[in-house]
């Protein structure tokens, strides 16, 4: 049975595609790529059909990540097929929980940085869209830092499903 994870930010062109591509690489490195499906979406549809922001693509490529992306908007009907919905900031967390058809679906929504023990109380990944390259680099650092803990949690869930 495939375990499905969806990362969600605002427009699905900066933070969530970055998290999707980084986490997909972690899943592959862990040998779980046949068991875990990773994608992303935005809370809004402003950029639907667009590729990732060029600055996102640049920082990913500079750090050895590859992968194409087409932006799309998160749909409430997706909750039924997803195991985990990973929000990039607390605004996305609230919006997604409001969209959830059931309380059980709302419990599938988690903040990415909650998987990073070093994150402290600030669990938001700041939106780099209106800034320069350094904001995208900071975003990548946060995504990478949280990916190990997220991978451990997903691995535990996958192994629990297999048992």
**In degrees rounded to 5, what are phi and psi of residue 39?**
-150, -170
Residues 12-40, mean pLDDT to the nearest whole number: 97
Question: Is the pTM for the entire model greater than 0.95?
Answer: yes
The verdict on whether 15 is a catalytic residue reads yes
* Residue span of the structural domain in which 73 resides: 3-162
Total domains, the chain: 1
Q: Give the strand pairing for 84-87 and 36-42.
A: unpaired
| Torsion sign across C-alpha atoms 134, 137, 141, 146 | positive
Number of other residues whose CB lies within 10 A of the CB of residue 73: 15
Q: Choosing from 33, 50, 83, 127, which is the catalytic residue?
A: 127
The verdict on whether 9 is a catalytic residue reads yes
pLDDT tens-place string over residues 63-122: 999 989 999 999 999 999 999 999 999 999 999 999 999 999 999 999 999 999 999 999
pLDDT tens-place string over residues 136-156: 999 999 999 999 999 999 999
The verdict on whether 89 is a catalytic residue reads no
Q: Choosing from 6, 14, 15, 39, which is the catalytic residue?
A: 15
CATH number for the domain spanning 16: value is 3.40.50.2300
pLDDT at position 130 is: 95
Q: Can you state the angle between helices 54-62 and 15-29, rounded to 10 degrees? A: 30
């Amino acid at each position: 049975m495939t375990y499905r994870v969806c990362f969600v930010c605002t427009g699905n062109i900066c933070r969530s595609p970055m998290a999707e591509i980084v986490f997909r690489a972690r899943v592959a490195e862990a040998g779980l790529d046949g068991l875990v499906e990773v994608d992303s979406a935005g809370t809004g549809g402003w950029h639907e059909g667009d590729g990732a922001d060029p600055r996102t693509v640049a920082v990913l490529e500079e750090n050895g990540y590859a992968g194409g992306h087409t932006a799309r908007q998160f749909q409430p009907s997706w909750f039924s097929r997803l195991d985990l919905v990973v929000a990039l900031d607390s605004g996305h967390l609230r919006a997604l929980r409001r969209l959830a058809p059931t309380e059980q679906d709302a419990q599938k929504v988690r903040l990415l940085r909650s998987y990073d023990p070093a994150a402290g109380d600030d669990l938001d990944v700041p939106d780099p869209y209106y800034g320069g390259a350094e904001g995208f680099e900071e975003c990548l650092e946060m995504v990478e830092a949280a990916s190990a803990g997220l991978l451990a949690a997903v691995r535990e869930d996958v192994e629990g499903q297999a048992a």
